[in-house]
Structure 1
Amino acid sequence: MAQIAIYRNNLLDNLREDRVCTAFGIKIIPTGEIVQIAKQAGYGSLFIDLEHTTLTLKDASQLCITGLCAGITPFVRVPHECGSGFIQRVLDGGAMGIIVPHILGVGMAVKSVENDHGANYMIEDARKVIQTSKFPPLGKRSLTAGLPHFGYAPTPATATAPQLNESGSTVFIMIETADALETVDDIAALPGCDVLLVGANDLATELGIMGDFDHPKFMQALEKVSNASKTHNKVFAIGGLYHRPDLMDRVVNDLGARWVIGGQDVGMLVNATRQNCLALKAIQRS
């Protein structure tokens, strides 16, 4: 029996040709029409946001499945501290990659306030994400059958796990905290960490320069993430700067970003409807 191939990952395909993969953000529209609109517009991937939305796990899965069938690669951002079980369900539901926000580092010891003895316990940030998202030998993800990544076709585990590790479980570690920025080189060195994604707004806020993307500290931070990506052969990605084409030019062409998040459905709808209404009102002669 011929091996069933996994759906294509447009980010990885673009990387092989050193091309940028664009992402359309989905925040409020839970149905497949928005996926087809994004595909028709020319985007290569989806940024399905479960962190700052009321979209459900079921919504995300349906959007992912539609994206797979339409040829626009679905990636999903999960809520902060959502748990390993939730991450696995998102991946099993059709996501080709997981985006995890507010990472603090590779793994850091935190003093437990509930422990009378004052003992320390480990919170494994980036490493824990990788263990949850990847199959052995990279991680400890649990294997299941009947996955949308293969069109629900029966696929032996010996074929499923390697293909998912290679292209069906891309791990995006968000660099948007001061702690993550400080340890970005260590994070990038982790096997199974595929993408370093800068969250521009939160990172600027953490640096004490909220909204000031022209501040030297912000560009220095981007350069640090870019250098870590290049050193460890990881993808440098950016979100939150689509409204600044001047900075995006530098980030893409000078710093080497290859995955860029564009606008989200809600923002585009608001802007387009406002412009349309103003155009209609302008028709009336005074």
Structure 2
Amino acid sequence: MAPAAIVNTSAYGIQTTSKKPRAIAKNNLISLAAQDKICTAFGIKIIPGGEIVHIAKSAGYESLFIDLEHTSLTIRDAGQLCITANSAGITPFVRVPHQCGYGFMQRVLDAGAMGIIVPHIHGVDDAKRAIHISKYPPLGGRSISAGFPQFEYSPLPISTISTEMNEFGSTVFIMIETADALKTVDEIAALPGCDVLLVGSNDLAMEIGTLGDWDAPDFIEALREVGMAAKKHGKLMGIAGLYHRPDILTKAINEFGAKWIVGAQDVGLLVQGGRANSDLLRSLQSEETEAS
């Protein structure tokens, strides 16, 4: 008999021992964090086809940030992206719209997301509600079901589904993007079932009055506070919206302990790459030819 597979990520609040391989899709964030490595994320905002998932994987990303908050993507789109991602080995996480309701949040998880990103958190009660709908008992009150794409629709015991979903398939990202959430970040981090404190850089900077001044001491201190709370309570820190400032990301990763790093979204990269290419093509024409 093969020895038990032991996964020890207690530094991040997760410690599991299993006697057989897990049935659920791999969660790259948890696996990489256990090795003290970062997990990079590619943002999807406008492209619903599975092709973008494989492009993101080919580019070297380990996870996806599928955005249903600032987008016209549907829950059906998100589900198809998640199914493709889990099969391709690139872990899909989905941000839900603000005040979308418990039913919508549960459907996103049922559709194949390996975690749910909850925006506009204003304190402990908001975070508790997000955890309650995302986790099965005893951590939460998620409704029991079966036939999940995270398990390739295999018929499995409810105990297997609920245990593996709670540990690996329903990562709860509590967004720290309001001044209220920042003030209560230590209490939020202490909640069982809160897995990741995710800084929404633009909204947080706007709330604390530093938007546009990324070097502002108050903003850097806010990042430090989130990192300290995550470390104190054995949770992960994530950061979004700062891919244009690698110097600050370096500090967030190496000093504050950030592990989930969200890069650019599909629309931004397409515009950026397209602009660079069109500028290059126009530059090929000599000034003399253009003048004539």
Report the TM-score when normalising by structure 2.
0.91
Given residue 217 of structure 1, which amino acid in structure 2 is its aligned partner?
D
Given that 1:77 and 1:101 are in contact with CA atoms closer than 8 Å, whether structure 2 keeps it comes out as yes
Structure 1 CA distance for aligned equivalents of residues 60 and 67 of structure 2: 20
CA shift for structure 1 position 234 = 0.3
* 1:65-110 superposed Cα distances (whole Å, 9 cap, x missing partner): 0000000000000001111110000000000000000100112xxx
CA shift for structure 1 position 4 = 6.5
Given that 1:4 and 1:155 are in contact with CA atoms closer than 8 Å, whether structure 2 keeps it comes out as no
Corresponding residue number in structure 2 for 1:137: 138
Structure 1 CA distance for aligned equivalents of residues 204 and 214 of structure 2: 10
2:117 to 81, 99, 102: 99
Runs of 5+ in structure 2 lacking a partner? Answer: 1-19, 288-292
Corresponding residue number in structure 2 for 1:36: 54
Given that 1:3 and 1:155 are in contact with CA atoms closer than 8 Å, whether structure 2 keeps it comes out as no
Structure 2 CA distance for aligned equivalents of residues 4 and 218 of structure 1: 40
Q: Secondary structure at the match of 1:258?
A: strand
Structure 1 stretches of at least 4 aligned residues deviating more than 4 Å after TM superposition: none
Structure 1 CA distance for aligned equivalents of residues 213 and 235 of structure 2: 27
2:81 to 44, 58, 63: 63
Structure 2 CA distance for aligned equivalents of residues 212 and 191 of structure 1: 34
Given residue 220 of structure 2, which amino acid in structure 1 is its aligned partner?
M
Percent identity over the alignment is 62
* 1:120-144 superposed Cα distances (whole Å, 9 cap, x missing partner): xxxxx00010010000000000011
1:26 to 41, 44, 57: 44
Structure 2 residue 221 is the aligned partner of structure 1 residue 203: no
Which deviates further from its counterpart, 208-217 or 69-78?
208-217
Structure 2 residue 212 is the aligned partner of structure 1 residue 194: no
Q: What's the Cα RMSD here?
A: 0.9
CA shift for structure 1 position 3 = 7.8
Structure 2 CA distance for aligned equivalents of residues 4 and 89 of structure 1: 23
Corresponding residue number in structure 1 for 2:13: none
Structure 1 CA distance for aligned equivalents of residues 189 and 34 of structure 2: 19
Corresponding residue number in structure 2 for 1:185: 186
CA shift for structure 1 position 224 = 0.6
Cα gap change, 1:270 to 1:276, in 2 (>3 Å)? same
Structure 2 CA distance for aligned equivalents of residues 63 and 214 of structure 1: 36
Given residue 44 of structure 2, which amino acid in structure 1 is its aligned partner?
I
Corresponding residue number in structure 2 for 1:75: 93
Given residue 276 of structure 1, which amino acid in structure 2 is its aligned partner?
N
Given residue 85 of structure 2, which amino acid in structure 1 is its aligned partner?
G
Corresponding residue number in structure 1 for 2:63: 45
Query: How do 1:1-286 residues align onto structure 2 when only pairs under 5 Å count?
Result: 5-107=23-125, 125-286=126-287
Runs of 5+ in structure 1 lacking a partner? Answer: 108-124
Q: Secondary structure at the match of 2:258?
A: coil
Q: Secondary structure at the match of 2:92?
A: strand
Structure 1 CA distance for aligned equivalents of residues 121 and 44 of structure 2: 22
Q: Secondary structure at the match of 2:70?
A: coil
Structure 1 CA distance for aligned equivalents of residues 62 and 142 of structure 2: 27
